Every structure is written in C-alpha cells, then in structure tokens.
C-alpha cells in the first residue's frame, strides 16, 4: 500500500467513531422492513482509468478519492435516505481493449459499517491492469456484463466511467453506448481534463447516455476527490422515475 493509502486507511478507521456520532443508531441498525427488502436502490459499477496516461500517483489519487467518498457521512446518509436503503457497488480497472479487471467485487452497502469497509478496501487497492490504450468501449461492455452477478436486483443500473482521454481502441464507442442504454443502464462519466481540455464535451456527446446521464469534470487528479464525491452523491440520490428489472 502506498503511504497515501496508509494515511487514508488510518483516517477511515478513525472515522468509524465519527459516523456513530453524526449518523447515530440508524447507521448501525436498519429498520426490519429495509433489512427484509430484496432489492437495491442502485447497482453501480465504478470504472477506473488505468491506461498509459495514468501514472502511479494519479492512480493513487483515484483510489484515494473513491475511499474518501465512501467514508463520507453525507454519502452514507444519502444511501440510507433512499426508499430501499441499499446500494451495491463494484470497482473495475481498465485500459486497452480486452484488458479489464475486477478490483473490488460487488459489495452491498446499507449502513456506515458497510461503507467504511468498502472505503478501506478502496484505499488499499492495487492496480490490476497492464498499462495500455484507452478503451472506454471495452470498459463499458465489461461493466454491463458484470450486472447479473450483483447481489440484488436494483431499481437503477449505472456505469460510472472515469477517463482522462478519448476512446482510442476497441469498438466504436457510440455503438457500445447505444446498446447498453437500450438495456436500461445509465452511463455517467467523470472527465479528468488535465491532458484533454475538451474531454467533458467529448464524453457528453459520445459516451454518456440513459436516464439522467451526466458528466462531472475534474480539473486534474488533485481535483478528483472533490469531483468524485459530488458525482457519487448525485448518482445515489438518482431520479424518482426508475426502470425496474
């Protein structure tokens, strides 16, 4: 684990006490009706860019941003405020076409303890893929194919693709996007624009799609934590009109 990851992990462990104070008993004990519910509000795949353009420090900032978001009381409160009080999350790493790996398997999150465990796993993530080209199309297809293995069916299915460059190998991105959206999945994107200043426009026009789809922009990887937290909160809160599977 990197020094940054170790510091973040210690911070997450200390946050456990803070959660109990800020969120109180509901963070530890869900209502019986919610526990018995066999659906999630959201199944979310977080697809992290691990292509050539992402160096080790930038990868660490991505992992740290994901960990920080899930250790944030506002994120846990948003999860618990939804009708079913549960989301399921998976993290994948991707680079060139055919190179996608599961970094964190499907994890159901219903309370602060679940969120802190997931945050700790994210803080200690190791890069899973070989460096290569930027196949957003490959990442989207891999993410969509992961949904059947989620622990619960969900009211909403979202792929959260993180990228700092355009799709440059694999299938044509618009064809992949359209096929996935037809299945009822929403594709959102987080554009890290430090190298490609117009990337948020590219992702908006050619990658995102589905109900309520949007692009969040990070000015660089140092800005990633802020942008990812904002994006995650919006995804968790979602849209009151849902498509059931």
Token readout for 14 is 């200390």
Q: What percent of the chain has pLDDT over 90?
A: 79
Q: 3-28+40-237 domain in CATH 3.40.50.410? A: yes
pLDDT of residue 6: 55
Beta-sheet pairing, 154-163 with 186-192: parallel
pLDDT of residue 4: 53
Secondary structure of the chain in HEC code, one letter for each residue: CCHHHHHHHHHHHHHHHHHHHHHCHHHCCCCHHHHHCCCEEEEEEEEEECCCCCCHHHHHHHHHHHHHHHCCHHHHHHHHHCCCCCEEEEEEEECCCCCEEEEEEEEEECCHHHHHHHHHHHHCCCCCCCCCCCCHHHHHHHHHHHHHHCCCCEEEEEEEEEECCCCCCCCCHHHHHHHHHHCCCEEEEEEECCCCCCHHHHHHHHCCECCCCCEEEECCHHHHHHHHHHHHHHHHHCCCCCCCC
Token readout for 46 is 């977080």
Residue 145, pLDDT above cutoff 70: yes
Are 174 and 61 within 8 A, CB to CB?
A: no
- Mean pLDDT across the chain: 88
pLDDT of residue 130: 79
pLDDT of residue 121: 98
Domain locations in the chain?
3-28+40-237
Could you report the per-residue pLDDT of 161-201, keeping only the tens digit for each? 999 999 999 899 999 999 999 999 999 999 999 999 999 99
pLDDT of residue 10: 57
Could you report the per-residue pLDDT of 6-33, keeping only the tens digit for each? 555 555 555 554 444 434 433 333 443 4
For the entire predicted model, the pTM comes to 0.85
């Amino acid at each position: 684990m990197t020094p940054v990851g170790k510091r973040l992990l210690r911070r997450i462990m200390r946050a456990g006490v803070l959660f109990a104070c800020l969120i109180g008993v509901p963070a530890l004990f869900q209502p019986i009706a919610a526990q018995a519910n066999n659906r999630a509000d959201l199944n979310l795949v977080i697809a992290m860019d691990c292509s050539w353009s992402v160096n080790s420090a930038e990868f660490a900032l991505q992992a740290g941003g994901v960990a920080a978001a899930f250790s944030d009381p506002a994120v846990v409160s948003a999860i618990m405020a939804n009708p079913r009080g549960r989301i399921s999350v998976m993290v994948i790493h991707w680079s060139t076409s055919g190179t996608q790996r599961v970094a964190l398997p499907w994890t159901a999150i219903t309370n602060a303890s679940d969120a802190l465990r997931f945050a700790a796993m994210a803080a200690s993530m190791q890069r899973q893929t070989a460096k290569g080209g930027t196949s957003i199309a490959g990442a989207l297809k891999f993410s969509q194919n992961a949904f059947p293995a989620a622990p619960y069916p969900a009211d909403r299915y979202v792929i959260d693709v993180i990228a700092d460059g355009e799709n440059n190998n694999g299938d044509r991105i618009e064809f992949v996007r359209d096929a996935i959206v037809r299945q009822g999945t929403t594709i959102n994107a987080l554009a890290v624009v430090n190298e490609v200043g117009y990337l948020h426009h590219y992702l908006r026009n050619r990658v995102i799609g589905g109900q309520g789809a949007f692009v969040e922009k990070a000015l660089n990887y140092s800005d990633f934590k802020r942008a990812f937290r904002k994006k995650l909160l919006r995804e968790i809160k979602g849209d009151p009109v849902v498509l059931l599977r």
